[in-house]
Amino acid sequence: MKWTRRDLLIGLGGLPVLGAVWWAGAATAVGSRNKRSEILEQLNIKPSLPPAVPGIGGDPVRIGVIGFGIRGEQLTRALGFATDEWKEEMRLAAQEDPNNKRLEDFEAQERLNVKLVGICDVFDVRAEKFINSFTTDDNQIKRYLTYKDMIQSGEVDAVVIATPDHWHAPMSIEALNNNVHVYVEKPMTHTVEETYTLREAAENSDAVFAVGHQHRQTLSFSTARDIVEKGTLGHVSLIQTNTNRNDDNGAWNYDIHEKASPETIDWEQFLGSAPQVPFNKNHFFRWRKWWSYGSGLSGDLLSHDYDRLNCVLNMGIPASVSSSGGIYTHNDGRNVPDVIQVNMEFPDYSTGSSQAKGKENGMTFCYSATLGNGFSRPTILMGHDATMELGNRLTVWPDGASTRYAEMLEAEKMKPNVPIYQYDPAANATDAVSSATSQYFADKGLMWTYIDGVRVDSTFLHMREWLSVIKNGGKVSCGIKEGFEEAISAHMAGLSWKLGRKIEWDPATQALKPIEGIDFDQVLLANENWNIQPEMVG
Amino acid sequence: MNQNQNKLKASVTLLRIFIGWHFLFEGVVKMYNPEWTSFGYLATAQGPFEWFFTMLIGDATIGWVDTLNIIALMVVGATFTLGIFERIGAIVGVGLLALYFLAHPPFPGLAQMNVEGNYWLVNKNLIELVAMIVIYQLPTGSYFGLDYLRKNKLKTQEQ
C-alpha cells in the first residue's frame, strides 16, 4: 500500500481546516475570557450568595394575620398558605398561559415551621375566607374581632400586619408592648410622631420587629452593595429612580367586593383615628387614595425605592426633601397625588471618590413617578467612574471621563457603551448557531433570585429571615432602624408636597426642623390640601 | 457528464467543509468557555414544543444538555471538515438543527427576538438542516477527505 502525495493532499486536506478552526475558536473564547477576567479582577466584585439562615426549629411559630386583603393574601402565601380560590385561579391561568408558573412556584416553596392560628379582618368575607381556607381538623383557626383581642390572647407568638397605613403603628406598638413579634407592611407609620413611639416600643420590646421591604432579600441588591463599596462607580452624585404605572390596579382602583356593606364591614374599626366619615366602600377598598388611611406615592411606592437604595448605600435620612406634583391622571376624588417628583438631598454623603480629595461630596436622590404612563424607566446610579442600572439584573457601564478607568479606556480595554459588569441570577453567553440565545437577556421575567435552581419569591425570604431571627436571635435586614429611616423620609416627601416647601432633617436633634405655625402630623393627616385648611394650624 | 459530476462533488465538498467549519467553531468556543450554558436559549423557547425545552433546564439535566450539545457540534464539525463518517455527522446535525429550529420556530404570531433578519416559517437553521440532507445524500469524503484514504486502502488491499 502506497500513498502518493496527491492521495495525502486529498485525504488530509480537511485537517488544516480543522486545526485552524479549532485554534481560532479556542483563541476567541480564551481571549475574551482573559479580557473579561482582567476587568473583573480589577473590579473584584463578589456576587452575593443566597442568605444562609439558621433553621426555624422547635415548636411552630403561631402566627396571627391582621388584614387579609390583597397584600395580606400575598404575605400568607409567602408563609406557605394559599386560599383555594387563588389556587384555582392560578391553575386556570397556567392552563391558559403555560408561562404562568405562579402555582408551580408556590408549591415548590420551602415549608416554613409556622402555624396559622388567628385572623383579624374587619371585613367578614375576608375573615371567613381565611378560616375556610386554612382551618384543618387539628388546627381550628380563630377569628379575633379586634387586633387587641388577638395580641392579648396569649395564643399568638407573632403577627403579620397588612392593614391600611394608619393602623400600622398602633397595631405594631400594641404587639411589641406584649412581646408579640411583628412583621408590618410599609410604610412603617402614618405620622411623624408615631414613628418615634414605634421606635421606642421596638427598642424596649423583646419581640422581633420587621418591616416588609422584601427587596432587601434580592441578591442583586447585596451584590450592588459590594459594587458600590468597592468604589466601582466612583462618587455617585445622582440617583434616578421611578414609578411608571398606567392601569387601574396600579392607580389603586381595586375591585369593590359585592358583599361589602355596613353589615359585613366593621366600619368604625376600619376608621380608627381617621376622620369619622359615613360608610364608604370606595374608601374601604381603595384606601391608598386618601391621606386619612394611606400615604400616596410617597409612602406607598417611594418608600420601596428609597429603601432599595438605602439597603445598597446606607445613606440614611436626607438632609432635606422637596416634592412637587399633583392629581393629573386620576381625578376621581382621591387626594393623594398621582404624579410626583421627590428630590432628596444628601449633601454630606459620598460613595468614595477617585479624584482629588474634597472635590466630590454630596448626592441627590431623585424619585419621579406617574400613574399615567407605563414606560419602564430603570433605576440608575450615576457615578463619576461608572453608571449602574439597578434591578433584578445589574449592569455597570464605565463613564467615558472616568478617572479610575482612564488607563483601561485609553487602551480600549473598556468602552463607555460596553458594560464592564453584568449580574444576572442565571447568566448566559451568546450562542451564534442558534442566533437567539440573547433572547435570554430580553426582559421576559426570567430575572428572579435562584436558590439551588429554584425560583424564589423575595417576600418568602424576608419572612423566613424574620421567623429565623425569632427562633435563633440575630438581626433582621429591615428592622426598626431601617424602618425609621424609611418612614421619616417618606413623611418628609409627603409633607413637602402638601406644604409646597422644603422639609429639613436635623441629625443633631434627630427631628424634622420645625416650621413655625405648622404641626407636621396635622398636615400629614389633613385630607385636603394643607393651605386650604388654615384652622388646622397648630 | 463526468465533468458535471466532478463540479457537483466539488460544490458539495465546499458546502460540507463550510458547515463543518461553522459547527466546529461553535463547539470549540463553547468548550473553551466554562460559563457557557444553553439555559437562556431553552428557557426562552417558544412554540408548540416549549414544554419540551423548558423541561431540559432543570438542575439535573442542564449540564448533560450542555455537554451533549458541545459534543454534537464537534462531531458534526470534525466529520465534515475531515470528510469521514459524514453520514453520521449529517444525521447528528439534522437532529441538532431540528431542535434549534423547534426551540425558536419562525412561526407567525411568535415574537422573533434578537434575530438578524426577517423569517417566515423558513429560517437559516432550517436551510442548514436541508443542506445537511444534501450532504447525507451525496457523501464527498471519498472525493476529498479522510475517506479517500480509507477507500484507497481498501482498494489496495483488494488488489
Domain edges within chain B? 2-158
How far is it, in rounded angstroms, from Cα A531 to Cα A89? 47
pLDDT at A227: 92
pLDDT at A427: 46
Mean pLDDT value across residues B82-102? 96
How far is it, in rounded angstroms, from Cα A31 to Cα A491? 53
Nearest to A291 by CA among A99, A480, A106, A490: A490
How far is it, in rounded angstroms, from Cα A313 to Cα A292? 32
* Contact predicate A169/A190, CB 8 Å: yes
Find where cell 426570567 sits: A446
Which residues neighbour B155 within 8 Å (Cβ) at sequence distance 6 or greater?
none
pLDDT at A419: 86
**Low-confidence residues in chain A, pLDDT < 50:** 426-448, 452-453, 529-538
Chain A positions with Cβ closer than 8 Å to B: 1-3, 7-8, 10-15, 17-18, 21-22, 24-26, 28-30, 33, 98, 426-429, 431-442, 444, 446, 452-453
Gap from A402 CA to chain B (nearest CA, Å):
29
Locate A318 and state its grid cell: 436626607
CB pairs under 8 A between A and B: 147
pLDDT range class, residue B37, cuts 50, 70, 90:
confident
Which residues neighbour A204 within 8 Å (Cβ) at sequence distance 6 or greater?
A176
* pTM assigned to the model: 0.78
Q: Is A282 exposed, middle or buried (0-12, 13-18, 19+ CB in 10 A)?
A: middle
Q: Is A156 exposed, middle or buried (0-12, 13-18, 19+ CB in 10 A)?
A: buried
- Measure the N-to-C terminal CA separation of chain A; round to a whole number of Å: 111
Which residues neighbour B130 within 8 Å (Cβ) at sequence distance 6 or greater?
none
Whether residue A434 and residue B41 make contact (CB cut-off 8 A), yes or no, is yes
pLDDT at B157: 67
Whether residue B38 and residue A431 make contact (CB cut-off 8 A), yes or no, is yes
How far is it, in rounded angstroms, from Cα A456 to Cα A469? 20
pLDDT at A121: 98
pLDDT at A497: 95
Find where cell 442568605 sits: A51
Look at residue B158 and tell me whether its pLDDT is greater than 80.
no
- Chain B 40-69, residues with CB within 8 Å of chain A CB atoms: 40-41, 43-44, 50-51, 58-59
pLDDT at B86: 94
C-alpha dist (Å) from residue B8 to A91, B77, B134, B139: 57, 21, 11, 11
Locate B149 and state its grid cell: 484514504
Structural domains of chain A, with CATH: 61-214+460-482 (3.40.50.720), 219-454 (3.30.360)
Half-sphere exposure of A264 (CA within 13 A, CB side): 14
Neighboring chain B residues of A442 at a CB cutoff of 8 Å: 44, 113-114
- Crossing angle of helices A70-78 and A458-472, in 10° steps, is 60
Whether residue A442 and residue B114 make contact (CB cut-off 8 A), yes or no, is yes
The overall average pLDDT reported for chain B is 90
Whether residue B44 and residue A446 make contact (CB cut-off 8 A), yes or no, is yes
pLDDT at A531: 43
B36 touches chain A (CB under 8 A): yes
Which of A11, A22, A33 shows the shortest C-beta gap to B148?
Answer: A11
Find where cell 437562556 sits: B40
pLDDT at B113: 67
C-alpha dist (Å) from residue A95 to A87, A102, A376, B55, B78: 12, 12, 28, 17, 44
B115 touches chain A (CB under 8 A): yes
How far is it, in rounded angstroms, from Cα A186 to Cα A130? 22
Whether residue A10 and residue B50 make contact (CB cut-off 8 A), yes or no, is no
Read off the pLDDT of residues A54-87 as tens digits, 9 standing for 90 and up: 889 999 999 999 999 999 999 999 999 999 999 9
ipTM of the complex: 0.91
Gap from A393 CA to chain B (nearest CA, Å):
14
Helix residue spans in A138-259 (DSSP H): 147-152, 165-177, 192-204, 219-229
C-alpha dist (Å) from residue B78 to B17, B82, B92: 9, 6, 12
Nearest CA in chain A to B111: A439
C-alpha dist (Å) from residue A349 to A172, A315, A317, A399: 32, 7, 11, 21
